[in-house]
Chains A and B, each alone.
Chain A
Amino acid sequence: MRRSYLGEFEEIVLLTVAVLGEGAYGVAITDELDRQTGRSVSISAVHAALHRLEEKGMLRSHMGEATAERGGRRKRLFTVTVLGSRTLHDIRAVREQLWKAILPHSLPAISL
């Protein structure tokens, strides 16, 4: 396999983990996604995506500290691996290349 395929949602979750840096865990990621994209995502979908990304080797995780509101349970904190980072860069490169290839005015104009 040349490169693991990333779904759109997975890509966004991966990016969000990168955005959050040290404090990336389930609830924080969900909230951040909510804020950044405006879509309401379910926490289970986020967990599933995180799980898959870790299986694919794009994320690494360790258990963090416990807090009272979590009933004394620890968080699982995620960080992007080298592979994850490369994948994100690859995707971005492809996108930019494509954007550059688009002739001016070939996309219909949109008014913001």
Chain B
Amino acid sequence: MKCSDSPSSRPPRWADCLLERFCAPHLLEEIQGDLHERFQRNAALLGERSARWHYVREVLSFMRPFAWKRKKEPYSSPSYLNTDMLRNYVKIAWRNLAQNRSFSAINILGLALGMACSLLIFLWIQDEYSVDAYHANGPRLYVVMERQMYDGKTEASPGTPALLPDELKRRFPEIAYAAGLSWEEKHTFAVGDKLNKEKGRSVGADWLRMFTVPLLAGSAETALNAPNNLVISRTLAENYFGSPQAAIGRSIRLDNQQDYQVTAVFETIPENSSLKYDYLLSWQDFLRRNEWLKEWGNHVPQTYVQLQTERNGQPANADRLEAKLKTFLYEVSPSLKKGTFDIHLFLQPFQEVYLHSNYKNGYPDGGRIEYVRLFGIVAVFILLIACINFMNLATARSVKRAREVGIRKVVGAARGLLFGQFMGEALLLTAIALVLALGVVWLLLPVFNELTEKNITLHPNQGTFWITILIITMLTGLIAGSYPALFLSSLNPIRVLKNSLQLGAGARLFRQGLVVFQFVLSTLLIIGMIVIYRQMQYIQTKNLGFDRENLIYLHAEGGVADRYAAFRQELLKSSGIQSVTYMDGTPTNGFGSTGNVHWPGKDPNTNIQFQFSTVDYDFTKTLKLNVTGRDFSPAYGLDSLGYLINKTAARRIGYTDPIGKPLTLWGQQGTIIGIVDDYHMASMHVAIEPLIVKLNPKVSGKTIIVRTQPGQSQEALASLETLWRTFNPKIPFTYRFADEEFQKLYRREMTVGSLTGYFAILAIFISCLGLFGLAAFMAEQRTKEIGVRKVLGASVVSIMSLLSGNFLKLVIIAIVIASPIAGYAMNQWLQDFTYKISLEWWMFAGAGGLAVFIALVTVSFHSIRAALMNPVKTLRSE
């Protein structure tokens, strides 16, 4: 509508324009007339300025429903939701699906796979976020951690002094509760004849008040008050006593040494808890068993606090508390600050810890959250690839639907209606795909759970599940349907019906762009898969410095520890055993570190942390470590003052010829007797640290390491078990393989690797489905052309290359785009490893080659078929 042109002494034009815009046309004349009449009078009476002002006010006052409501058209077009039209839409949609079976199948299959995959990922992400989310006091729970600065590094560590929790609670009014948490303890439970190893923890008395651990019997206030109290899970209570109620007050003998009274029974810890335990022991008992933890210098157990609720109902301010806590450790133990060594306390919200448990320079830096994000992106990518299939096939085939669009437009369908129709079709297809996808998810869930070590179940009665499904379906339908619907509804009916429809270059370019995009995503995933696989292989085959094959770990306890010499002697006589030793921790899991190492000429300002382990004779022999100098040996009387160090330690200490040089560990001066080659004491994520190994005759609590004869592990295990039973009749025999312990270090990477692999396969499969459909369509479109070419003498090969070449070009463009992106992303991933492969050109070439090969195979099915067709048949009908 054009705004009226006005000569002088006229109301403000913009107000007039506004009125003309919003006012219903059938009312405009009278209203505008009335307003102008009043304006003229006001201008004469009050002056033009005032009249204009009045005019504007009056126009604005007309902004009310009666004025802007349009009169109904006398011949209104039937509403979109008219039942007849709806029936027609469904019928046409169904006929289209049924007529083009292969295309429908490709679309539905692609969408279903894409949706199934993103649903699985969604379930996984939801599960990740649900971990630890169930604690009622969650937002007020914090972990107290240490930030240690030494040797030019800053490192975050969860280990704190065991006395810290009670001290914090006493000193800071902001802290309502505080409790320590021990490492995972394994004790042998004995009730009557029942004998089992159980896993549990020792915790502070406040634990049950802070965390949501529902008690089935007993009270949280008193459950952990006395040293001999024991709180067990429902599972244990049912196993040992039949029911939670029956367990109360009963006693359980731990490790064949001491009796504990069951004071409470808690509901078995749910799957979505990051902390799992079957029983809880009291903190007093923990300190009694570990006297060494009563010193402020030993930082091993964790500390949890719950903040006080302030008067306004909000939790106390964590930042302010953190500022006060920071230097708390020197206040209680001034000796902790020494030289360059510095130590601060900091708080991390408990519910964040699970997903943010990596630390860089002492500050939280990612963790599982990175994988959550990564897979979230992958889910979106795969869904996009499936949507693109739909968009591509629908627009490519638009010629077939063009006539329908033309006729509909001629008989009065507005663009909006057609848009709605095609959107509806897309949604219908998505809905069919959804049913399939749900089936796939239901089938795959057990396998997926095994792969991700989760226990995810479908909760059909959960509202969020259905809402998510609805959102995913709508989103998929909208994305997939939008472009075809826009495109089809924009067709010009005259051109279509004259049969002179030319699909513009723009549409073709767009389609090609989509194919390129699909293959970029697929190639990215393939490269990711290759790099992760190579890195895992590198880790598996890298020489660790010791031989992890044929090693068995036992826990030294009971009679085996007390009469170790006899045990060892018997063992070495049995079949299948090569050698035996013991150590603190295991070779792949460092035991602890200490800065209390001195040597002549040490710079007093440096503080180098040394990994340490105390061991038995035959340490290097059993691990098959390369040693310069000599191992500990009973032939030398003074070996308890001899030290083995690794090469890194030798380098850090700086002796040119270290053997025979003095070294002081924990104030005990001794000499270096040998240098072992560096071996990996932790995962490949971290660098090898300096190590000091010392002889220690105390066996209890250590890991006994047994090297078996290659290929005789069955015999070795059998003899180990019989021996164990004679020495430890009251303790069940448990063992671990070194190789399995090693694999556990990379469990997360393994899962990510295999998931990436599956997703890559899925992505390339869905992309190829789309390519397959496009190729089929192209071949169909060009049958006449191919017929003419053949008649004129084109060879089968030339026709094939004609048809495949186009697609090949797109795939190659995709590879060129994907390679640098993948290079950057994988480089980031590899940064997490200290020991890593370097990216090599063949990884990209391999991924590219694979993509090209798969695309070629997909396309050539149709191009061969087209090329072999008898030209007479294709040219006969015209």
The interface-forming segment of A2-10, A67-75, A83-91 is: A67-75
When chains A and B are docked, how far (Å) is the Cα of A67 from the Cα of B66? Answer: 25
Chain B residues within 8 Å of A56, by CB: none
Cβ < 8 Å to B, chain A residues 52-74: 52, 63, 66-67, 69-71, 73-74
The interface-forming segment of A16-24, A43-51, A95-103, A104-112 is: A43-51
Whether the pair A71, B33 counts as a contact (CB closer than 8 A) is yes
Interface size class for chain A?
20 to 34
Residue-wise interface mask of B (28-51) relative to A, using a CB-CB cutoff of 8 A (1 in contact, 0 not): 011111111110110000000000
B105 CB, min distance to chain A CBs, angstroms: 56
Cβ < 8 Å to A, chain B residues 46-99: 58, 61-62, 64, 66-67
Cβ < 8 Å to B, chain A residues 28-42: 30, 42
Chain B residues within 8 Å of A47, by CB: 27, 30-31, 34, 62, 66-67
Whether the pair A69, B40 counts as a contact (CB closer than 8 A) is yes
A33 CB, min distance to chain B CBs, angstroms: 13
Whether the pair B67, A73 counts as a contact (CB closer than 8 A) is no
Chain A residues within 8 Å of B29, by CB: 63, 73-74, 76
Residue from B4, B27, B32, B35 having most chain A Cβ neighbours under 10 A: B35
Residue of A nearest to B6 (CB): A71
Whether the pair A27, B34 counts as a contact (CB closer than 8 A) is yes
Cβ < 8 Å to A, chain B residues 1-41: 4, 27, 29-38, 40-41
Whether the pair A27, B64 counts as a contact (CB closer than 8 A) is no
Given contacts A42-B58, A69-B36, whether A51 and B66 have CB atoms under 8 Å apart is yes
B609 CB, min distance to chain A CBs, angstroms: 82
Whether the pair A27, B61 counts as a contact (CB closer than 8 A) is no
Given contacts A26-B30, A42-B58, whether A69 and B66 have CB atoms under 8 Å apart is no
Whether the pair B66, A48 counts as a contact (CB closer than 8 A) is yes
When chains A and B are docked, how far (Å) is the Cα of A71 from the Cα of B37? Answer: 8
Chain A residues within 8 Å of B61, by CB: 42-45
Given contacts A47-B31, A73-B29, A75-B30, whether A67 and B62 have CB atoms under 8 Å apart is no
Whether the pair B36, A71 counts as a contact (CB closer than 8 A) is yes
Chain B residues within 8 Å of A75, by CB: 30, 33-34
Chain A residues within 8 Å of B27, by CB: 47, 51
A50 CB, min distance to chain B CBs, angstroms: 9
Whether the pair B32, A71 counts as a contact (CB closer than 8 A) is yes
B65 CB, min distance to chain A CBs, angstroms: 9
B330 CB, min distance to chain A CBs, angstroms: 77
Whether the pair A67, B58 counts as a contact (CB closer than 8 A) is no
Residue-wise interface mask of B (690-717) relative to A, using a CB-CB cutoff of 8 A (1 in contact, 0 not): 0000000000000000000000000000
Chain B residues within 8 Å of A51, by CB: 27, 66
Whether the pair B30, A76 counts as a contact (CB closer than 8 A) is yes
When chains A and B are docked, how far (Å) is the Cα of A52 from the Cα of B27? Answer: 13
Residue from B29, B34, B35, B61 having most chain A Cβ neighbours under 10 A: B34
Contact of A44 among B30, B37, B62 (CB under 8 A): B62
Chain A residues within 8 Å of B4, by CB: 71
Given contacts A73-B36, A74-B29, whether A43 and B66 have CB atoms under 8 Å apart is no
A106 CB, min distance to chain B CBs, angstroms: 42
Given contacts A48-B66, A69-B40, whether A43 and B30 have CB atoms under 8 Å apart is no
B22 CB, min distance to chain A CBs, angstroms: 12
Whether the pair A27, B30 counts as a contact (CB closer than 8 A) is no
When chains A and B are docked, how far (Å) is the Cα of A26 from the Cα of B27? Answer: 12
Interface residues in B, total, Cβ within 8 A? 20
Chain B residues within 8 Å of A42, by CB: 58, 61
Residue of B nearest to A77 (CB): B30
When chains A and B are docked, how far (Å) is the Cα of A76 from the Cα of B62? Answer: 17
When chains A and B are docked, how far (Å) is the Cα of A55 from the Cα of B30? Answer: 17
A35 CB, min distance to chain B CBs, angstroms: 14
Residue of A nearest to B7 (CB): A71
Chain B residues within 8 Å of A45, by CB: 61
Whether the pair A44, B58 counts as a contact (CB closer than 8 A) is yes
Residue of A nearest to B32 (CB): A73
Residue of B nearest to A45 (CB): B61
When chains A and B are docked, how far (Å) is the Cα of A14 from the Cα of B680? Answer: 98
Whether the pair A43, B32 counts as a contact (CB closer than 8 A) is no
Chain A residues within 8 Å of B34, by CB: 25-27, 43, 47, 70, 75
Whether the pair B64, A74 counts as a contact (CB closer than 8 A) is no
When chains A and B are docked, how far (Å) is the Cα of A37 from the Cα of B868? Answer: 95
Given contacts A42-B61, A48-B64, A71-B4, whether A26 and B36 have CB atoms under 8 Å apart is no
Residue of A nearest to B54 (CB): A43
Whether the pair B33, A74 counts as a contact (CB closer than 8 A) is yes
Residue of A nearest to B39 (CB): A69
When chains A and B are docked, how far (Å) is the Cα of A66 from the Cα of B27? Answer: 15
Whether the pair B66, A52 counts as a contact (CB closer than 8 A) is yes
B663 CB, min distance to chain A CBs, angstroms: 97
B46 CB, min distance to chain A CBs, angstroms: 14
Whether the pair B30, A67 counts as a contact (CB closer than 8 A) is no
Whether the pair B35, A43 counts as a contact (CB closer than 8 A) is yes
Cβ < 8 Å to A, chain B residues 195-245: none
Given contacts A25-B30, A47-B31, A76-B30, whether A70 and B36 have CB atoms under 8 Å apart is yes
Whether the pair A27, B62 counts as a contact (CB closer than 8 A) is no
Chain B residues within 8 Å of A74, by CB: 29-30, 33
When chains A and B are docked, how far (Å) is the Cα of A69 from the Cα of B41? Answer: 9
Residue of B nearest to A51 (CB): B66
Chain A residues within 8 Å of B33, by CB: 66, 70-71, 73-75
When chains A and B are docked, how far (Å) is the Cα of A100 from the Cα of B204? Answer: 89
Chain B residues within 8 Å of A76, by CB: 29-30
Residue of B nearest to A47 (CB): B31
When chains A and B are docked, how far (Å) is the Cα of A66 from the Cα of B40? Answer: 15
Whether the pair A69, B37 counts as a contact (CB closer than 8 A) is yes
Chain B residues within 8 Å of A44, by CB: 58, 61-62, 64, 67
Residue of A nearest to B57 (CB): A42
Residue of A nearest to B11 (CB): A71
Chain B residues within 8 Å of A30, by CB: 38
When chains A and B are docked, how far (Å) is the Cα of A48 from the Cα of B63? Answer: 11
When chains A and B are docked, how far (Å) is the Cα of A25 from the Cα of B31? Answer: 10
Q: 17 new A-B pairs (CB below 8 Å) besides A71-B36, A74-B33? A: A25-B30, A27-B37, A43-B38, A47-B27, A47-B30, A48-B67, A51-B27, A52-B66, A63-B29, A63-B30, A69-B37, A70-B37, A71-B4, A74-B29, A75-B30, A75-B34, A76-B29
Residues on A lying within 8 angstroms of B by beta carbon are: 25-27, 30, 42-45, 47-48, 51-52, 63, 66-67, 69-71, 73-76
Residues on B lying within 8 angstroms of A by beta carbon are: 4, 27, 29-38, 40-41, 58, 61-62, 64, 66-67
Give me 23 A-to-B residue pairs in the complex whose CB atoms sit less than 8 angstroms apart, sorted by A's number.
A26-B30, A30-B38, A42-B58, A43-B35, A43-B58, A44-B64, A47-B30, A47-B31, A47-B67, A48-B66, A51-B66, A52-B66, A66-B33, A67-B37, A69-B40, A69-B41, A70-B34, A71-B36, A73-B30, A73-B32, A75-B30, A76-B29, A76-B30
* Nearest 7 pairs of A and B residues by beta carbon: A73-B33, A26-B34, A70-B33, A76-B30, A44-B61, A69-B40, A44-B62
